[in-house]
Chain A
Amino acid sequence: MATKTEKEQAPMGDRNIADMPKDYIPGWGIDADPENDPTYPMKKWNGADHERLNYPKAPQQDTDVEILKSIERPVVTRVFGSTVPPSGLSGMLRRKAFKYSEGTSAHWMGLILADRINMVEGLIDDLSKGYIPNFFKEWGWPAEWKYNRKKFVQKAAIGTAVTLAAIWLLKKSAKKSR
């Protein structure tokens, strides 16, 4: 028995489809551009790069909140966002992280660590204002209940089991220590 050539083994739908007329697709080929050569950046080259930092700039935005600046630039940008300035322990970590350039892990990992700490700070902040977050709602579990009930029940069952086990273990160890 003759072995199949590689060509024969390949599903040959390919060519046929590629050569088929595409009338059923609105706008087929309308933006085809033989000049679009991806080895050049897609921009309208105007030499501005060589003017370096001498470009027209907007007036400087003022602020009284703390803005952390990448050390890879001399000054803050003319415009910036001023929401949630760094604060607390996570803020200290963020300030530290911003002492390293964007090319370092110290910068990014420091920020991720700060994010995790910030989460706890956020919870403390809520509680200290007498606000008890509704985790069920915040996790979007009403959607889970509505559209994925099986998984919801499963999760809830596991959750209850873990809580019961924890209570049982706590009680047991409490008895022992008595």
Chain B
Amino acid sequence: MTRERIDYTDVLLPYKNMQSSGTALLPKSVYEQNKVSMLAMNFRGPYRIRVDRNKPEPKIEHPYDAIVRVTRSLICGSDLHLYHGLVPDTRIGTTFGHEFTGVVVEVGSGVQKLKVGDHVLVPFNIACGTCPFCSQELYGNCHESNPEATAVGGFFGYAHISGGYDGGQAEYVRVPYADVSPMVIPEGLDIEDAVLLTDVVPTGYQAAEMAGIRKGDTVVVFGAGPVGIMAARCAWLFGAGRVIIIDRLEYRLEFAKQYSYCEAYNFTEMDDPVLFLKKQTDWLGADVCIDAVGCEASGSALQTITGKKLLLQAGAATALHWAINSVKKGGIVSVVGVYGPPFNLVPLGSALNKGITMRGNQASVKRLLPRLIDHVMAGRLNPKGLITHRVPLEEVSDAYHLFSAKLDNCIKPLLIPPKANAA
């Protein structure tokens, strides 16, 4: 139940007093003498992050908590929205990271299933398991894990809009409701596959699932980032007849073609992507469109200026706009790209006139895990194939910049903390 370490209640006292000043650094002496600080990513403002030792190791704050020593963590397209300063209530000093695996080092008095020493994959959703939403398997929409916003579930390392939890781009993380979502990594499952199962695989899969694909359907996926690539790959599992992916980055389109067995087109080479897709689909429109881009889309000056520069809307809804306009009448638009809470410019008139069904959600990771692990073990999905960069946690600022600026053909960067392999 307990691990070998110093009782740091006294040590933390000065820290608590300093918390009134918010971003307080622990006095150097505190962490050097007592060794309770940990290495963690530290947000300093848009495009500015560093890794430092300004945070104490997390402690059990609730009987259902566990503390996990991180073994791998990933940077997600969602983290880029935080990194770019687009998510409200992203406080200076926050540690990001919602995709991680780790070893349990301590559990609260109420934890029954998880044990110290278990190597777990931790879904990005923090879920209580008993609220009306969790009890109906909507684990991405828990009602008891985020006091700050009722419209958003609790997520790790995703600012205070998602509950104010520190994330996994650190040495240790506090994992609430430890018996609900976290799962012991099954024997034979590669750790790199496991860490991708905490978000990208379920999100891509759910994008295809929400699209209600029928055998033979033509599926258009907007965005060839990790999520879009996985969505395209998963569309086949549902029997798609044809899968088309759209992006502006040539290297990602090339990657997607190979990895997802799909057709890939560059929208910067088209006058009008909607018209192009209409032509591609016998002038009827795609059966299904998936938005795997979200609020930082490029491709429309109007959307970019109003959404990304002036913040008059919650990011640029370009991909969603294209999706609604390129889907057939009575078609389905599935949205996993993330948008900000206030509002966006989307062609609702067309959605209504065409009788479109639109569906979106944060992936319900726990619900999908058993099926997806099966797919990975059987070789039907190869998540770790998405990882292009393996970077020490100490170089987190470079990794963010690389992923954000799409340098060195980056698809998905993996972070490895120095204590990843500690016994």
- A residues at B contact (CB < 8 Å): 6-7, 9-11, 13-15, 17-19, 22, 24-34, 36-39, 41-46, 48-49, 51, 55-59, 61-65, 67-70, 72-73, 76-88, 90-91, 94, 98, 102, 105, 108-109, 111-112, 114-116, 118-119, 121-123, 125-126, 129, 131, 133-135, 137-144, 146-148
- For window 35-64 of B, CB contacts with A under 8 Å fall at 44-50, 61-64
Partner of A84, one of B49, B91, B218: B91
Selected from B63, B342, B407, the residue in CB contact (under 8 A) with A148 is: B407
- A85-B22, A119-B46 are known; give 4 further A-B pairs, CB within 8 A: A69-B147, A77-B145, A80-B164, A139-B401
Instruction: Tell whether, in the assembled complex, residue B163 and residue A26 are in contact, meaning their CB atoms are under 8 Å apart.
Output: no
Closest chain-A Cβ to B2's Cβ sits at a distance in Å of 20
B283 contacts A6, CB within 8 Å? yes
Is B85 close to A, CB under 8 A? yes
Residues of A within 8 A of B163 (CB): 77, 80-81
On B, residues with C-beta under 8 Å from A are 16, 19-25, 44-50, 61-64, 85, 88-95, 110, 126, 128, 130-133, 135-138, 143-151, 154, 160-161, 163-166, 176-177, 209-216, 218, 236-239, 241-242, 261, 263, 279-283, 311, 314, 332, 334, 340-342, 357, 359, 361, 364, 371, 375, 378-381, 397-402, 404-405, 407-408
Q: Give Cα A111 to B160, complex, Å.
A: 10
B91 touches A138 (CB 8 A): no
Contact, CB under 8 Å: A28 / B241: no
Report the separation of the CA atoms of residues A14 and B328 in the bound assembly, to the nearest whole angstrom.
15
Q: Are A29 and B239 in contact (CB under 8 A)?
A: yes
Please count the residue pairs between chain A and chain B whose beta carbons lie under 8 angstroms apart in the complex. Answer: 298
- The one of A78, A118, A126, A138 that contacts B144, using a Cβ cutoff of 8 Å: A78
CB of A45 within 8 A of CB of B375, answer no
Among B16, B135, B261, B381, the one with the most A-chain Cβ atoms within 10 Å of its Cβ is: B135
Q: Is the CB of B407 within 8 A of A25?
A: no
Whether B398 and A11, one on each chain, are in contact in the complex, defined by CB atoms closer than 8 angstroms, is: no
A143 contacts which of B130, B378, B398 (Cβ < 8 Å)? B398
- Give complex CA distance A51, B143 in Å: 14
In the complex, A37→B211 CA distance in Å? 9
Q: Smallest distance from the beta carbon of A117 to chain B beta carbons, Å? A: 10
Inter-subunit contact A18/B241 (CB<8 Å): yes
